[in-house]
Amino acid sequence: MVLYHFCAKHFLPGILRDGLTLGGTPIIEGGMMRLQMGHQWLTSEKDPGKQSWNTHNLVTYSRTAVRLTVSIPDSYRKKLVKATDLDKTLPPEGRYIITDYAGSDAWYIYKGRIPPEWIVGYELMKEA
């Protein structure tokens, strides 16, 4: 299955060397937030302009400057979950993290490390 991962330009060398390793899902429970590490976020949407999560609330750089093309081998597809399915397993108070963003129906989460050899290409996106 071919999906995409967007990232900032300065993360590209490390990702090409080590793969996708640092992803996490924010989980809110009991009014507290924790990060479930080992969740690599992917999307079926190729358009960087449709990545509603790319805000400048926490960072000043574009988090969609690079689009990676990731090919998940069929034998590893069981580790891939639609974000909207994962959302159903989260505490109700924190589901907005997925459901309140436009395009969340195109999101996937790979539970585990995505090795660099699964990254079959990348493209620098035009600056807005």
CATH of the domain at 112: 3.20.170.30
Any bridge partners for residue 36, and if so which? 25
- Domain of residue 71: give its range: 2-124
Mean pLDDT of 18-47: 90
Residue 111: phi and psi, rounded to 5, are -90, 95
pLDDT of residue 35: 85
- Whether 50 shows a pLDDT value over 70: the answer reads yes
Provide the number of structural domains found in the chain.
1
Residues contacting residue 81 through CB under 8 Å, at least 6 positions apart: 108, 109, 110, 111
Q: Give the HSE-up count for residue 13: Cα atoms under 13 Å, Cβ half-sphere.
A: 1
* Residues 42/108, Cβ–Cβ less than 8 Å: yes
Q: What is the pLDDT of residue 128?
A: 47
Q: What is the pLDDT of residue 119?
A: 98
The pLDDT of residue 72 is 98
Minimum mean pLDDT among 59-63, 108-112, 119-123: which range?
59-63
**77-120, pLDDT tens digit by residue?**
999 999 888 877 777 777 777 777 778 889 999 999 999 999 99
Q: What burial class does residue 120 get, using C-beta atoms within 10 Å of its C-beta: 0-12 exposed, 13-18 middle, 19+ buried?
A: exposed
Q: pTM higher than 0.85 for the full model?
A: yes
